[in-house]
Structure 1
Amino acid sequence: MLLIQKKQKFNFSFLKRTILIKSLVVIFATGLFAVNNSGNFLSNDKNSSLLLKPINNLNDKEYDKFILGRSFFSIPWVEAPSVTTARDGLGPLFNANTCVSCHPKNGRGTLFADENLSSRSLLARLSIKSNDSDEHKEYLIYKGFVPEPVYGNQLSINGIFGVDYEGKIKIDFEEIRIVFPDGEKQILLKPKYNLENLNYGELNKDVNISYRIAPSLNGMGLISLISHEDILANVDENDSNNDGISGRANFVYSNITKKNELGIYTWKASVGFLKEQVAGAASNDMGLTTTIFPDGNCTKYQKECNEAPKPRDMIDLPDDRLDAVTYYLKNIKTYEAKKTKEYEEGLSLFEAISCSKCHISSFNTKKGFKISPFSDFLLHDMGKDLADGRVEFMANGNEWRTAPLWGLALHEKINKEKPRLLHDGRARSFQEAILWHGGEAQNSKENYMNLPKEQREKLIKFLEEL
């Protein structure tokens, strides 16, 4: 009898283990454990060093590549020739000598440096109108815009020894008073940015100057894990549902694939791949050549720039190091707000006034977990007040990519000051940023202005935690 009981007990235990193993197989096969995987990538730990940390579970080889990428992202570059051959090749014209100069601790840049001077995070992108020549048509196909002939793609505020910098950015504002239906008043700052101390002569008479502040690098790698199908599902170019929102995709030429790709990075969604974005920043901001952008950033009108000493190697940032920097940015931790009761209440208000039609709160990733970037990565007409007049591939002068909102909660932790919002840093608060919205976002702005003050404050607190 005792033997029979032991046998029954064994069979029952064996049966439980069998069921458990089969259940786990089903769970893994159907991706039900994917939510746990998100913890490797996401964190709601709001501290100043979060964006410097690697994702969980990197093996030794992966961690070494992460550290290598971080070193080339953080350690200053020097001008050539130099004994530091791994990091020479800076300039001859440049804005900053490190990536972190524009992206402090991988966060969003600041508008001002010391003494109310513009920081290196504020860039002046330059272009001119196309004259329909074959040369300009080629520029539009392969660069998306026509660069300013003398100063090129972007104003360089620094130069190496013997090479004059191109110019400086002067910041000024005009005050605009806004009154809410309930009587609340808000002062907006309309930027009156200008370029001064131009060392290479006058700008082209048809020049367009678009001022851009360096965005946060939060979640840059996870953006690439959103399927293009999910992004394109929100395209409504002709506003077929009559909601006033008509997001458009920007298809852009890639120097990596040599064909048009869906743009998902930059203020106008003009870059399709993170590696290409890194290479573009290396070229425009630091004057570093890569196999993607092998030409220097001197124009034919800049004699000293063209005659400056050359580094030993033709390519300043070779592929293995460019890949390491890209790998580093793809594998830093991503901040995502904690889903508290206050978060859910704020999200309900956000959705109620239609902000979420462009700032989409969540996407599924190819790894099976959800992320909350609060962007649709599409182009939208934001009205004349925010228009910069600049064309970038299919993006016109009124359009901007919906700016992701996640990670902005870290800015004050990193920089000890509140973020200056929108593409050019004009907005000192989320309320100011909302009040600048026009075009497709006009109705959402008006909906916000008509909310009771208590609900407006609740919505702003929600945004400040994203």
Structure 2
Amino acid sequence: MKKVTAFFGLLLATSPAQATNLDFALGKALFDRPWTSAPASTQATDGLGPLFNARSCVACHPKAGRGKITVESNGEIGGVGYVLRLGSATGEGDPTYGRQLQTNAIHGQKAEGRVYLENGYYRIEDLAYGEMAEKTKYAGRLSQPLHGLGLLEEIPTEDILALADPDDKNGDGISGRAHMVNGQLGRFAWKATAPTLRIQAGNAFSNDIGMSSPIHRHHHGDCTKNQPDCLKGPHGDSVQFENLEIDTQMLDLVAYYLKRLPAPKSKATEPLPLFSQVGCADCHTPQLKTKSGQKVAAYSDLLLHDMGEGLADGIKENNATGREWRTQPLWGSANTKRFLHDGRAQTIEEAINWHGGEAAKAKANFTALSDTDKQRLINFINSL
């Protein structure tokens, strides 16, 4: 019996349409499922940790939306879907703390540390396993909304590659480039490190929840060799479930659920000409199409762009440098409360003012607009 059927009970024969709806429901249930540490009363629900940031996918993506940030009276950062990414300019994680600071732990294990915000800067306290390496950088990451991602996966690779101009041959100052990951085009995550939603889900299970899957088969998540107690901690791997905690069927169902989430609804019926005149559309491509010809008004080219020193975090991920970020889709901005990779901007104008590098010219054009035109542009983006 598969792990998913062990959790949900016996599945009866269904029609294709019913099976489609059932797969979506099962994927959502797995997405919402709060995981527990092993050993649990049923192997279908355990495997959390040993170290983790969240107990479930929905904990980071409430209603499949973006995460939220809270700051306690003592300055400690909390919220859902907010983590501290670790790394270096050469692409390695911290030798002790890995690629993400795990702020929670199962019974018998020690959380890696706590994060505080003071005068706009992060402060890490209570590091449980000693100091970080001198070259380790750290930066906040706020989880992204998930609606419409299935459409982004269906855009032909060649259409996205056609938008790239890594050497800026046309001289417009925009040199977006594709992020190739193991021979596939990266489309998802802040630095386009995941080519598919299945891979992105596997990354999240490992980094955020500490669970093994066909994408990352190690059951200890982000633990390193300098954390021997974590490596020896309990896990939910089982021969019955491919020696994994999230087996192939479960991961496929979660990916199916993500693919079927509808795109955000926009109040705008067509792009505002001012959006292109300022230069926003040079990276935030208003519309692409799926293989079947369906229009995708995500306002992104899905390419990496150098966004300047102000947004640089010094962390290289795969082939994306510390200054490069995938163009964030603007659809769903109407429901967004915080912008940019770490949520530092609380308004569209704040986010624009942080732009630099390839976006410096567009920012200068925006700054030069009259107050009326600035508001027209902001209102348009806020309607997406």
Deviation for aligned residue 1:377: 0.6
> How far apart in 2 are the matches of 1:437 and 1:58?
47
TM-score by length of 2: 0.91
User: 1:365 and 2:290 equivalent?
Assistant: yes
Pick from 336, 355, 372: which aligns with 1:437?
355
User: 1:447 and 2:376 equivalent?
Assistant: no
Look up the SS of the partner of 1:171 in the other structure: strand
Q: How does 1:373-412 map to 2 (within 5 A)?
A: 373-411=298-336
Look up the SS of the partner of 2:139 in the other structure: strand
User: 1:238 and 2:152 equivalent?
Assistant: no
User: 1:91 and 2:25 equivalent?
Assistant: no
Aligned to 2:106: 160
Aligned to 1:311: 236
Deviation for aligned residue 1:126: 1.3
Aligned partner letter, 1:243: D
Q: How does 1:247-286 map to 2 (within 5 A)?
A: 247-253=176-182, 260-286=183-209
Report the structure number with the largest CA radius of gyration.
1
Pick from 18, 29, 34: which aligns with 1:60?
18
> How far apart in 2 are the matches of 1:129 and 1:433?
24
> How far apart in 2 are the matches of 1:261 and 1:159?
34
Aligned to 1:294: 217
Aligned to 1:171: 117
> How far apart in 1 are the matches of 2:303 and 2:237?
42
Aligned partner letter, 2:365: N
> How far apart in 1 are the matches of 2:363 and 2:55?
39
Task: Evaluate the alpha carbon distance shift between residue 204 and residue 250 of structure 1 in structure 2; reply closer, same or farther with a 3 A threshold.
Answer: same
Does the 8 A contact of 1:123 with 1:154 survive in 2? yes
> How far apart in 2 are the matches of 1:395 and 1:289?
25
Aligned to 1:146: 92
Deviation for aligned residue 1:234: 0.8
Aligned to 1:118: 78
Aligned to 1:134: none
User: 1:204 and 2:133 equivalent?
Assistant: yes
Deviation for aligned residue 1:58: 7.9
Name segments (4+ residues, structure 1) moved above 4 Å: 113-116
Does the 8 A contact of 1:420 with 1:429 survive in 2? yes
> How far apart in 2 are the matches of 1:318 and 1:113?
36
Look up the SS of the partner of 1:71 in the other structure: helix
Look up the SS of the partner of 2:205 in the other structure: helix
Look up the SS of the partner of 1:59 in the other structure: helix
> How far apart in 2 are the matches of 1:210 and 1:166?
16
Aligned to 1:422: 340
Look up the SS of the partner of 1:442 in the other structure: helix
Does the 8 A contact of 1:380 with 1:440 survive in 2? yes
> How far apart in 1 are the matches of 2:363 and 2:127?
39
Task: Evaluate the alpha carbon distance shift between residue 222 and residue 206 of structure 1 in structure 2; reply closer, same or farther with a 3 A threshold.
Answer: same
> How far apart in 1 are the matches of 2:328 and 2:181?
18
> How far apart in 1 are the matches of 2:383 and 2:16?
28
User: 1:78 and 2:36 equivalent?
Assistant: yes
Does the 8 A contact of 1:128 with 1:204 survive in 2? no
> How far apart in 2 are the matches of 1:281 and 1:368?
30
Pick from 209, 212, 221: which aligns with 2:150?
221
Aligned partner letter, 1:213: L
Look up the SS of the partner of 1:210 in the other structure: strand
> How far apart in 2 are the matches of 1:312 and 1:223?
32
User: 1:353 and 2:271 equivalent?
Assistant: no
Aligned to 1:138: none
Pick from 128, 132, 150: which aligns with 2:88?
128
Does the 8 A contact of 2:268 with 2:383 survive in 1? no
Deviation for aligned residue 1:124: 1.3
Look up the SS of the partner of 1:209 in the other structure: strand
Deviation for aligned residue 1:84: 3.1
- The percentage of aligned residue pairs carrying the same residue is 42
Aligned partner letter, 1:73: F
Does the 8 A contact of 1:353 with 1:448 survive in 2? yes
Task: Evaluate the alpha carbon distance shift between residue 351 and residue 91 of structure 1 in structure 2; reply closer, same or farther with a 3 A threshold.
Answer: same
Aligned partner letter, 2:34: P
Q: How does 1:185-196 map to 2 (within 5 A)?
A: 191-196=120-125
Look up the SS of the partner of 2:184 in the other structure: strand
Does the 8 A contact of 1:218 with 1:406 survive in 2? no
User: 1:102 and 2:60 equivalent?
Assistant: yes
> Alpha carbon RMSD of aligned pairs, Å?
1.7
Aligned partner letter, 1:211: G
> How far apart in 1 are the matches of 2:312 and 2:71?
25
Does the 8 A contact of 2:61 with 2:80 survive in 1? no
Aligned length: 362
Deviation for aligned residue 1:397: 1.6
Does the 8 A contact of 1:74 with 1:98 survive in 2? yes
Look up the SS of the partner of 1:284 in the other structure: helix
Does the 8 A contact of 1:108 with 1:408 survive in 2? no
Structure 2 portions without partners, runs of 5+: 1-14
> How far apart in 2 are the matches of 1:161 and 1:101?
20
Higher helix share: 1
